[in-house]
Amino acid sequence: MTAVTDSAGASLRPVAASERIETMDVLRGFALLGILLMNIEGMAGPLFQSFSGLDPALTGADRIADALIYILVQGKFYTLFSLLFGMGFAVMSSRAEARGQPFAGVYWRRSLVLLVIGVIHGLLIWSGDILLIYALLSFFLLAFRNVSARWLPWLAGLAYLASSGMMLLLGLLGSMMQLEPGAAAQWNQEMAKAGVEMNAMLEGQRQAYGAGTYLEAVAQRAKDVGFMLSNLLFIGPTVFGMFLFGTWFVKSGAIAAPQGHPRLFAFLRWGALPLGLALMLLSFWMEPTARFDNINLHSSTAFAASSIGSVLMAFGYLGWIVKGVRSAASAPLLHWLAPAGRMALTNYLMQSIVCTLIFNGYGLGYLDQLPRAWQVPFVFGLFLIQVLCSRWWLARFRFGPAEWVWRSLTYLRPQPMRANPASA
């Protein structure tokens, strides 16, 4: 491969270890744990089962675990991961600008490589993939590269709230349709049809992943990925809004120098987190279990409360992690997460590989056999192994394996892999 250079002949390169913002790596490590806690239900069982909130069939410890994960984890960590993706974009952009280097070409290649990784992951490993959506939406970030930090939070908020707004309008339409008998009958028929289709998809997942061959699982994953992409209109604004929030955190200097923004982080800890938790509890009280065959103003209001509560809680988690990184008492423990965060892509993919080999029929075949409550210690055990392996690996190598492939293809040359004093 040939080297990528700017117009002055200076070689473009990935961020060196010494240039990294370690708080972002700690946040990525923390987000990885939350992502696995969120995803495990759709790995140990049918994927769509993890979309419906509290499973009414659960009892005892399983019911408590399901409720706590829904309230404290579900929807909070993919938003936090999206925020970190936006931060990464802004860091790359600002450093390229500081060096006077062209950025767009490198960024397009980076997104295209991520798109390929997302397709491979979604079709061949696990269909709950988020990388494909990140890659598709990342192309639009370039249009916001030069937007003033003053306007970014407003644009981000509008983008994030668009999904809730669309769902509220859909719910209002559903409720209004009930006012006229003929319209109500037609609406209810369509809702019932959607419910049947969703149940059929869920049963198809149970059969393909629980007892099917690898090729049958791939065929089912193709259907799942297609369904996820068909809902990009609702998922996309949420993810892109977090991209923009992440860009603001870097442009404003808040993530690199949090000591200069004490009021912001105090609000995230003591304002955003409690308010978000209150909205989540309200949503849970209104509708703990989502129904795919009944969209009305009540259910869409519960969805909106959950969506807004989730982003506020994600910001609150960020506020506490940032404070923890700067605390003498908690910093040593949190810094253990940084290597896992530096290898976030590798660890994310490995979570899918390990879990599908354990739970899918072409592996050990334990689908639907791990109780909900036991999924939590399973996640912590697997994540601890990832943290230890990440520390061991990065003591010897500069990048995780997937990160090395991503960077080498982005910069059109193999990156030096062995760790050395100059890159540490």
In-domain check, residue 290: no
pLDDT value, residue 375: 98
pLDDT value, residue 5: 43
Across 91-100, 104-113, 119-128, least confident range: 91-100
Residue 14 has pLDDT above 80, yes or no: no
Does residue 222 sit in helix, strand or coil?
A: helix
Q: What share of the chain is helix, strand, coil (3-state, %, to 5)?
A: 75, 0, 25
Token pair of 93 as six digits? 């952009």
| Each residue's pLDDT tens digit, 264-313 | 999 999 999 999 999 999 999 999 998 778 889 999 999 999 999 999 99
Number of structural domains in the chain? 1
In-domain check, residue 239: yes
In-domain check, residue 303: no
Residue 343 has pLDDT above 90, yes or no: yes
In-domain check, residue 188: no
pLDDT band at 3 (very low <50, low <70, confident <90, very high): very low
| Each residue's pLDDT tens digit, 296-310 | 999 999 999 999 999
In-domain check, residue 301: no
Letter for the amino acid at 401? P
Helices (H), 46-180: 60-72, 77-98, 104-120, 131-138, 152-177
pLDDT band at 11 (very low <50, low <70, confident <90, very high): very low
In-domain check, residue 197: no
* Distance (Å, whole) CA 384 – CA 73: 18
**CA 90, 91, 96, 98 torsion: positive or negative?**
positive
Token pair of 295 as six digits? 């969209």
In-domain check, residue 189: no
- What are the residues facing 418 on neighbouring strands? 397
pLDDT band at 15 (very low <50, low <70, confident <90, very high): low
In-domain check, residue 346: yes
| Each residue's pLDDT tens digit, 45-56 | 999 888 889 999
Q: Which domain holds residue 114?
A: 17-169+211-276+310-410
pLDDT band at 65 (very low <50, low <70, confident <90, very high): very high
- Number of CB atoms found within 10 A of residue 129's CB: 24
pLDDT value, residue 18: 46
* Distance (Å, whole) CA 359 – CA 128: 14
* Distance (Å, whole) CA 383 – CA 369: 20
* Distance (Å, whole) CA 185 – CA 222: 33
Determine contact, residues 181/309, Cβ cutoff 8 Å: no
pLDDT value, residue 265: 97
| Each residue's pLDDT tens digit, 77-104 | 999 999 999 999 999 888 888 887 788 8
pLDDT value, residue 9: 36
pLDDT mean across residues, the chain:
91
Q: Report pTM.
A: 0.91
Residue 7 has pLDDT above 70, yes or no: no
Determine contact, residues 310/370, Cβ cutoff 8 Å: no
Buried b (16+ CB within 10 A) or exposed e, 318-327: bbbbbbbbee
- Average pLDDT (132-155) is 94
Residue 157 has pLDDT above 80, yes or no: yes
- What are the residues facing 5 on neighbouring strands? 11
